[in-house]
Amino acid sequence: MQGGLDSQAQIRENRDMQIHSQNQACFQAGLSRVLIPVRTRGVGMMGYGMLHNVVEGMSSDLYVRALVLKDAQGKTLAYANAEICFVTLAIRSAVLERLQNQQPDQHWCEENLLLTAQHTHSAPGGYSHYFFYNVTMPGFQPEVFEAIVAAFVEAIVSAQTQLAPAQLDFVQGAFEPDLEVGFNRSLTAYNKNPEVTPLTDYETHLAIDRNLYLLRVLSPEGDLRGVINWFGVHATSVGPKNRRISSDNKGYAATFLEQRFHHRQENTQFVGIFAQGAAGDVSPNFHGKGRDWPKGKFEDDLESARFNGKLQFQKAQELCEANALFAISGSLDAELVYADFSCQSCDPAFTGGVEGCQTASSAHGVAFFKGTTVDGKGISDMAGSLLAAVARRLRKALLKKAEAAGPEEQQRILNKLAAQDPKAILIDSGDKHFLGMTEIKDLPIPDFLDPVVGEVKRLHRIQAIQEHSWTPHVLPVQIFIIGNLALAGVPGEITTVAARRLRASLEKTLAIRGVKQVVVGSYANAYHGYITTAEEYAVQNYEGGHTVFGKWTLAAFQTVFENVAQALNRPLAERVLPKALKPPVFSEQELALRTFNPEEPSLRRSR
The model's confidence at residue 237, banded by pLDDT at 50, 70 and 90, is very high
φ and ψ of 121, to 5 deg: -95, 10
CB-CB contact of 181 with 233 (8 Å): yes
DSSP 140: B
CA-to-CA separations, 601 to 53, 135, 455, 459, 466, in angstroms, rounded: 19, 14, 11, 13, 22
The span from the CA of 329 to the CA of 69, in Å, is 13
Q: Taking CA 555 as the corner, what is the angle to CA 550 and CA 558, rounded to the nearest 5 degrees?
A: 135
Sign of CA dihedral 98, 104, 110, 115: negative
Round to whole Å and give the CA distance between 484 and 212. 18
Q: Are 142 and 302 in contact (CB under 8 A)?
A: no
Please tell me which residue, 200 or 269, carries the higher pLDDT value. 200
pLDDT tier, 19 (very low <50, low <70, confident <90, very high otherwise): very low
In 3D space, the residue among 137, 140, 144, 135 whose CA is nearest the CA of residue 460 turns out to be 135
pLDDT in tens, 461-496: 999 999 999 999 999 999 999 999 999 999 999 999
Q: What is the DSSP letter of 132?
A: G
Instruction: Indicate the length of the chain as a whole number.
Output: 607
Which DSSP string corresponds to 69-137?
Answer: EEETT--EEEEEEESSS---HHHHHHHHHHHHHH-GGG---STTEEEEE--BSSSB----SSGGGTTTT
Average pLDDT over residues 354-376: 92
The pairing of strands 332-340 and 474-482 is antiparallel
Per-residue pLDDT band at 607 (split at 50, 70, 90): very low
Residue 341, pLDDT score: 98
- How far apart are alpha carbons 259 and 393 in whole angstroms? 57
Is the pLDDT at 309 greater than 50? The verdict is yes
Instruction: Give the residue-averaged pLDDT of 343-369.
Output: 96
Kindly tell me if the per-residue pLDDT of 515 is higher than 80: yes
Q: Residue 422, preceding bond cis, omega within 30 degrees?
A: yes
Cis, peptide link before residue 142, omega less than 30° from 0? no
Rounded distance between C-alpha atoms, residue 38 and residue 45, angstroms: 12
In this structure, the dihedral spanned by the alpha carbons of residues 355, 360, 365 and 368, taken in order and rounded to 10 degrees, is: 90
Q: Would you state the pLDDT for residue 294?
A: 56
Give the residue-averaged pLDDT of 342-366.
97
With beta carbons less than 8 A apart as the criterion, state whether 532 and 589 touch.
no
Beta strand 517-521 pairing with 164-174 = unpaired
User: Confidence band (pLDDT; 50, 70, 90) for 77?
Assistant: very high
Please report the pLDDT score of residue 233 as a whole number: 98
DSSP 203: G
Sign for the CA dihedral angle at 79, 80, 85, 91 comes to: negative
Task: Give the CA distances from residue 486 to residues 28, 508, 519, in Å, rounded to whole numbers and listed in that order.
Answer: 18, 12, 6
Least confident of 122-126, 169-173, 303-307, 397-401: 397-401
Calpha distance 379→431 (Å, rounded): 23
The pLDDT value recorded for residue 601 is: 56
Comparing 402 with 153, the larger pLDDT belongs to 153
**Model confidence band, residue 606 (pLDDT cutoffs 50, 70, 90):** very low
Q: What's the CA gap between 340 and 86, in Å, rounded?
A: 20
pLDDT reading at 32 higher than 70: yes
The stretch 139-143 carries a mean pLDDT of 95
CB atoms closer than 10 angstroms to residue 197: 9
Average pLDDT over residues 272-291: 86
Q: How many Cβ atoms sit within 10 Å of the Cβ of residue 328?
A: 26
pLDDT at 20 over 80: no
Q: Which residues, other chains included, contact 28 with Cβ-Cβ below 8 Å and sequence gap of 6+?
A: 69, 70, 71, 163, 164, 165, 166
SS3 content of the chain, % helix, strand, coil (to 5): 35, 20, 45
Q: What percent of the chain has pLDDT over 90?
A: 77
Choice among 19-23, 474-478, 570-574 with the minimum mean pLDDT: 19-23
Decide: pTM greater than 0.85. Answer: yes
CB atoms within 10 A of CB 111: 18
* DSSP 8-state secondary structure symbol assigned to residue 278: S
d(CA 535, CA 195): 11
Distances (CA, A) of 121 to 246, 399, 426: 8, 38, 24
Does residue 79 contact residue 228 with C-beta atoms inside 8 Å? Answer: yes
Buried b (16+ CB within 10 A) or exposed e, 72-96: eeeebbbbbbbbbbbbbbbbbbbbb
426-472 pLDDT, tens digit each: 999 999 998 888 888 888 888 777 888 888 999 999 999 999 999 99
- Burial (CB count <10 Å: 0-12, 13-18, 19+), residue 467: middle
